[in-house]
Chain A
Amino acid sequence: MTASSLSADGGHGAVPTGGVPTGVPGSGSMRDWPLWEVFVRAKRGLSHQHVGSLHAPDAAMALRNARDVYTRRSEGVSIWVVPASEVVASSPDEKDAFFDPAADKAYRHPTFYVVPDDVQHL
């Protein structure tokens, strides 16, 4: 499996896209709508967080759909939408090489310093 056959479609991390039926067979107009990943900022000062994904015909409608689907209970003050096809995802097959080497390197955590008593809020 190559990296190009994976995407972050659906907001569930890397998933294979080849050979997976999507949309409704025989309903071309529905399948034409691309998927968008939605990021919402809950309030000023926080960063945008990924909240999910949706279908929309274009960017302007994706923003409006995101407003309706993800902020209807006052969840946000700002929305980003990103074409899901533009998200490059890491591959499950590379998981060992990507993530395992970090598991036994405790020295990368900043826990080996003596913190002076006067320092607050650490």
Chain B
Amino acid sequence: MSAEAVATYATRLGDDALILAQRLGEWIASAPQLEEDVALGNIGLDLLGQARTLLAYAGEVEGAGRSEDDLAFLRDERDFLNLQIVERPNEDFGVTIARQLVFSTYQVALYSRLQHSTDDTIAGVAAKAVKEVDYHRDHAAQWTLRLGDGTDESHARMQRGLGRIWPYVEEMFVTDDLECLLAGDGVAVEVVGLREEFDAYVDAVLAEATIERPTATWTAGGGRRGVHTEAFGYLLAEMQHLHRSHPGASW
């Protein structure tokens, strides 16, 4: 197994966490209540912690002397390997909760398997993170139930939110050559095998929330190859400008 493959794999997982953390941070001071500012901020910080460990490890394995900050703040759009779902704009609370439900359910399934990875660092990150994402999933499920089974307006927003996110679901379960290779060594997990668990959990929550499972008329793809949506460039500009304008700034 090549170090390059492991570095790429760690970068993928780290980028997913980093970019979603950035998106969730946008809610701080804008959520429906102060308490939700804190809840979404906490979830974002959990993800940022995962991202830091994974990107630091990616840099270490790569062996080119790049730190976690170098990877987070000095790469350009096409070098990011995150799934497109995590870069999608927050829009309203319904869209954000739909994205949280879908992505945290995926992360629970993924991390609970990666705890047994033959790569000690990845196994360690996953073992710690699985408890965090389990809470993220619960938070999203609780809100899905309340919005879906709430007022006419909240139901409509939740249903619309899920519809906005659904085209980005397929991409999460695409296994490519690199993942196959690493799964063969026990380092990675083939995400194609997570679909059943994902469907069972999401379908149960949606049924209780009286939300219909959407049917995507098109599906996204390409995030793992550095292909991103238009919204991503704006996210990176905001996330990176401070570090690029004032290299090494700290406080």
Which A residues contact B (CB, under 8 angstroms)?
Answer: 29-30, 33, 54-58, 60-61, 64-65, 68-69, 72
A57:B39 contact, CB within 8 angstroms: no
Identity of the chain B residue whose Cβ is nearest the Cβ of A62 in the assembled complex: B35
Closest to B45 in A: A72
The answer to whether the Cβ of B61 comes within 8 Å of any Cβ in the partner chain is: no
Q: B36 to chain A: which residues have CB within 8 Å? A: 65
- Complex CA gap A60/B142 in Å reads 8
Compute how far the CA of A56 lies from the CA of B146 in the bound complex, rounded to whole angstroms: 12
Judging by beta carbons under 8 Å apart, are A72 and B138 in contact? no
Q: Please give the residue numbers on chain B whose beta carbons come within 8 Å of chain A beta carbons, in ascending order.
A: 32-36, 38-39, 42, 138-139, 142, 146
Identify B146's interface contact among A30, A54, A57, A68, CB under 8 A.
Answer: A57
B33 to chain A, nearest CB (A): 6
Contact B35 A55 (CB under 8 A): yes
CB distance from A56 to the nearest CB of B (A): 6
Question: A54 to nearest B CB, angstroms?
Answer: 5
- B138 interface neighbour in A30, A55, A58, A64, Cβ under 8 Å: A64
User: Is A61 touching B142 in the complex (CB atoms < 8 A)?
Assistant: yes
Point out the residues of chain A lying under 8 angstroms from B139, CB to CB. Answer: 64
- B146 and A72 contact, CB distance less than 8 A: no
Query: Chain A residue with minimal CB distance to B139?
Result: A64
Specify which of A30, A60, A68 is in contact with B39 (CB 8 Å cutoff): A68
Pick the contact of B42: A29, A55, A60, A68 (CB < 8 A): A68
Contacts of B38 in A (CB 8 A): 65, 68-69, 72
For A54, the chain B residues whose CB sits under 8 A away are 34-35
Task: Provide the bound-state CA to CA distance between A64 and B138, in Å.
Answer: 9
Q: Is the CB of A61 within 8 A of B146?
A: yes
User: A65–B146 contact, CB under 8 A?
Assistant: no
| Contact assessment for A33 and B33 in the assembled complex, using a CB-CB cutoff below 8 Å | yes
Task: From known contacts A57-B146, A60-B142, infer whether A65 and B32 are also in contact, taking CB-CB under 8 Å.
Answer: no
Q: Which residues in A have their C-beta under 8 angstroms from that of B142?
A: 60-61, 64
Interface centre among A33, A68, A72 (most CB of B within 10 A): A68
Are the C-beta atoms of A72 and B33 separated by less than 8 Å?
no
